[in-house]
């Protein structure tokens, strides 16, 4: 099993600290939220009161970095260089939505075309499912910037929590900048 349902159990390290601070400051407006820890390549989904619902490995943007290239969301994927494929860090007001194929997704940063969605193992050479199953986050960098989660985790946790209403997705930085610069409630 790739994901861990952890009802009533706390998250780990930086994700736990951020989740506690967000709830204490009511930054999440008592609604469900997710914390993405890019260093661990892991997502944590929470109830509005900060109770952890589940955790799963994720796939992230190929390039390290905490900001999206300006205008990247308006470019064709074929025009995006490997060094531009980052998952941005920060606080994002998420929205449920649909991609161009009609699949339900959670928009994280609409302008940068970054969403959280089910992993799509379309290109066999990318070994996306195998990358999710490895014990370390070292090979979880492959996407154009989107946050890819296992289908069962998306359907069991992400979709029920964030797929039907606006929410919040917090993405921890790569440590290229202080977390306080991204999250004013810390």
pLDDT digits (tens, 9 = 90+) for 140-171: 999 999 999 999 999 999 999 999 999 999 99
pTM (predicted TM-score):
0.92
Whether 186 maps to a domain, the answer reads no
Whether 18 maps to a domain, the answer reads yes
Residue 107 main-chain phi, psi, to 5 deg: -70, 130
At residue 93, does pLDDT exceed 80?
yes
Residue 150 to residue 137: CA distance in whole angstroms: 15
Predicted confidence (pLDDT) per residue in 98-143, tens digit: 998 999 999 999 999 999 999 998 899 999 999 999 989 999 999 9
Residue 5 to residue 51: CA distance in whole angstroms: 11
Task: Name the average pLDDT for the chain.
Answer: 91
CB 176 within 8 Å of CB 11: no
Residue 122 to residue 100: CA distance in whole angstroms: 16
Whether 32 maps to a domain, the answer reads yes
Number of domains in the chain: 1
CB 51 within 8 Å of CB 111: no
Whether 129 maps to a domain, the answer reads yes
SS (H, E, C) 66-109: CCCCCCHHHCCHHHCCHHHCCCCCEEEEEEEEECCCCCEEEEEE
The DSSP-derived string for 133-162 is HSSSGGG-EEESS-EEE-HHHIIIIIHHHH
Predicted confidence (pLDDT) per residue in 46-79, tens digit: 999 999 999 999 999 999 999 999 999 999 999 9
Report the CATH number at residue 119.
Answer: 2.40.440.10
| Partner residues linked to 91 by β-bridges | 170
Q: Which domain holds residue 60?
A: 4-181
Whether 45 maps to a domain, the answer reads yes
Whether 28 maps to a domain, the answer reads yes
């Amino acid at each position: 099993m790739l994901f861990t349902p952890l009802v009533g159990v706390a998250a780990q390290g930086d994700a736990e600290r951020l989740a506690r601070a967000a709830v204490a400051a009511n930054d999440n407006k008592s609604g469900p939220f997710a914390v993405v820890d890019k260093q661990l390549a892991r997502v944590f989904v929470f109830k509005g009161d900060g109770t952890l619902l589940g955790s799963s490995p994720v796939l992230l943007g190929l390039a390290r970095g905490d900001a999206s290239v300006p205008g990247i969301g308006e470019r064709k994927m074929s025009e995006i260089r490997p060094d531009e494929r980052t998952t941005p860090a920060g606080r994002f007001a998420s929205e449920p939505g649909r991609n161009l194929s009609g699949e339900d997704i959670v928009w994280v940063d609409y302008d940068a075309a970054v969403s959280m969605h089910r992993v799509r193992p379309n290109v066999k050479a990318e070994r996306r499912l195998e990358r999710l199953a490895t014990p370390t986050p070292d090979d979880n960098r492959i996407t154009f910037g989107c946050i890819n989660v296992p289908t069962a985790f998306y359907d069991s946790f992400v979709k029920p929590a964030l797929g039907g209403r606006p929410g919040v997705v917090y993405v921890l930085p790569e440590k290229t900048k202080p977390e306080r610069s991204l999250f004013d409630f810390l």
